[in-house]
């Protein structure tokens, strides 16, 4: 099995799974038959076997154009419109990807914008790219999100100043709704090449669409293998036998622990390659679960780094959390500790040890310590870190997330809570139409 879920340290009795299995099977049927709440956003469920092949070819062609034309690709988007691409690119490229020579990278550098409203970030990025060949992929399903819209206004101007209108047109790629939104309108008006985010797929479930695939392909990653991973996930995580379905196991494990008042799930990794996978995961579960006062708070910890900070809290703090650890089973490197004649730091006892093997012992030592400290641990064992396995892991989490939402009794496919800040921000920015709220909020500040 390419992804296993190891429950040996989760401290859950099989009867706790059995008593919930019927509910889980019902949730699975509701996802497959599109009979559950939020069923107008279930396009992701069978997308890996139903995706638009023509658009897929066009994505690959656009990625080649980007590689030919640019030293740097700026991906503009926020939330589900950038985290999936960033997660996959970070997982599958060098930790120093942007610093590597082009001959090593074989693809443009990738920068992200529009995921914050920092003037300094935007200013420094524009300055950094002033003398480079730049392409832009702006991504927004609604086409109206403020953060990417601001960043795109600057980059559109930047490209037009640098290359003229026609040159900019060749370097701007737009991923948005098929028919609606300001971005679609602008793309048609300006003649940009566009890619579609299907109506029935929400941002955080959109990695297999052009949202994720275009930047991922432009970074030189094999998107065929990524989709094969998604397809394999679709098939395997539909198996009714609980013992053969790690996705079902993960979904029920979260539910059992949540019902024991473990309100925080910490996704743990032991390799910086997985740092943004955790960010994507936090968005996926945070926006899907957190409704009606319910849901597990999704947190992340990057070990060893966080063993020297959060480790104390995890070991000895309140016992309101559990850990889900992602372990990559294949070695990432064969770098070994070598012998030093003077041995001043006393490390010679490690001579000949692979760094990855030392990391594995850090994992095992931490696992036992945290379990002894009363923290249940579930382990996602990923056979290898490549496009296929990451593609499958994405499906694993998406499916578990949909199942969990239904087990929790919430709609996992909307995000009404995100609107609250937007309304206030618009009012405080004096956006037309928000006058009453502007007055009310300014009174309070």
Residues that bind ligand PA5 (CB under 6 A): 78-81, 140-142, 145, 148, 202-204, 287, 415
Least Å distance, CB 415 to ligand PA5, is: 6
**Distance between CA 86 and CA 383 in Å, rounded?**
21
Q: Say if residue 221 is exposed, middle or buried (CB neighbours under 10 Å; 0-12, 13-18, 19+).
A: buried
DSSP-derived secondary structure for 237-281? TT-S-GGG-HHHHHHHHHHHHHTTT--EEEEEESSGGGHHHHHHH
- Cβ(62)–Cβ(195) below 8 Å: yes
**Distance between CA 153 and CA 387 in Å, rounded?**
33
In the annotation, is 422 catalytic?
Answer: yes
Closer CB to ligand PA5, 242 or 426, in the complex? 426
Of 50, 165, 244, 422, which one is the catalytic site residue? 422
Q: Is 44 helix (H, G, I), strand (E, B) or coil?
A: coil
Least Å distance, CB 178 to ligand PA5, is: 14
Report the residue number whose CB is nearest to ligand PA5.
203
DSSP-derived secondary structure for 55-102? HHHHHHHHHHHHHHH-SEEEEE--GGGTHHHHHHHHHHS-TTGGGS-H
In the annotation, is 287 catalytic?
Answer: yes
Of 147, 193, 279, 287, which one is the catalytic site residue? 287
Least Å distance, CB 155 to ligand PA5, is: 15
Least Å distance, CB 267 to ligand PA5, is: 18
Strand partners, 4: 381
Least Å distance, CB 247 to ligand PA5, is: 20
**Distance between CA 229 and CA 224 in Å, rounded?**
9
**Distance between CA 51 and CA 102 in Å, rounded?**
32
**Distance between CA 64 and CA 72 in Å, rounded?**
13
* Catalytic residue ranges: 287, 422
């Amino acid at each position: 099995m390419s992804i296993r879920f190891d429950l040996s340290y989760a401290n859950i009795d099989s009867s706790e799974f059995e008593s919930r299995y019927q509910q889980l099977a019902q949730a699975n049927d509701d996802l497959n038959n599109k009979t559950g709440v939020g069923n107008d956003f279930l396009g992701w469920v069978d997308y890996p076997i139903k995706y638009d092949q023509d658009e897929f070819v066009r994505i690959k062609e656009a990625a080649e154009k980007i590689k030919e034309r640019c030293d740097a690709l700026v991906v503009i988007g926020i939330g589900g419109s950038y985290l999936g691409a960033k997660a996959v690119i970070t997982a599958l490229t060098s930790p120093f990807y942007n610093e590597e020579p082009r001959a090593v990278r074989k693809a443009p550098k990738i920068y992200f914008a529009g995921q914050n409203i920092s003037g300094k970030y935007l200013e420094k990025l524009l300055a950094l790219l002033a003398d480079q060949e730049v392409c832009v992929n702006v991504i927004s399903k609604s086409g109206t999100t403020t953060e990417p819209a601001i960043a795109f206004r600057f980059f559109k101007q930047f490209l037009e100043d640098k290359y003229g209108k026609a040159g900019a047109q060749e370097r701007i790629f737009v991923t948005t709704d098929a028919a609606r939104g300001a971005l679609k309108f602008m793309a048609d008006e300006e003649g940009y090449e566009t890619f579609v985010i299907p109506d029935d797929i929400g941002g955080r479930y959109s990695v297999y669409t052009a949202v994720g695939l275009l930047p991922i392909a432009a970074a030189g990653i094999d998107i065929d293998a990524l989709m094969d991973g998604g397809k394999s996930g679709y098939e395997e995580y539909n198996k009714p036998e609980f013992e053969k379905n790690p996705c079902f196991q993960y979904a029920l494990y979260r539910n059992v622990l949540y019902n024991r008042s473990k309100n925080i799930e910490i996704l743990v990794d032991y390799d910086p390659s997985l740092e943004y996978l955790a960010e994507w995961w936090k968005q996926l579960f945070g926006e899907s679960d957190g409704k009606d006062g319910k849901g597990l708070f999704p947190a992340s910890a990057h070990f060893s780094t966080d063993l020297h900070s959060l480790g104390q809290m995890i070991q000895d703090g309140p016992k309101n959390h559990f850990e889900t650890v992602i372990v990559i089973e294949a070695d990432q490197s064969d770098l070994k500790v070598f012998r030093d004649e003077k041995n001043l730091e006393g490390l010679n006892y490690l001579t000949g040890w692979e760094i990855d093997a030392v990391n594995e012992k850090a994992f095992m030592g931490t696992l036992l310590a945290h379990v002894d400290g009363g923290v249940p641990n579930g382990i996602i064992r990923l056979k290898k870190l490549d496009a296929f396995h990451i593609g499958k892991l994405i499906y694993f989490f998406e499916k578990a997330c949909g199942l969990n939402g239904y087990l929790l009794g919430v709609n996992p496919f909307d995000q009404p809570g995100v609107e609250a800040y937007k309304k206030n921000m618009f009012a405080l920015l004096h956006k037309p139409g928000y006058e009453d709220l502007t007055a009310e909020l300014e009174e309070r500040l």
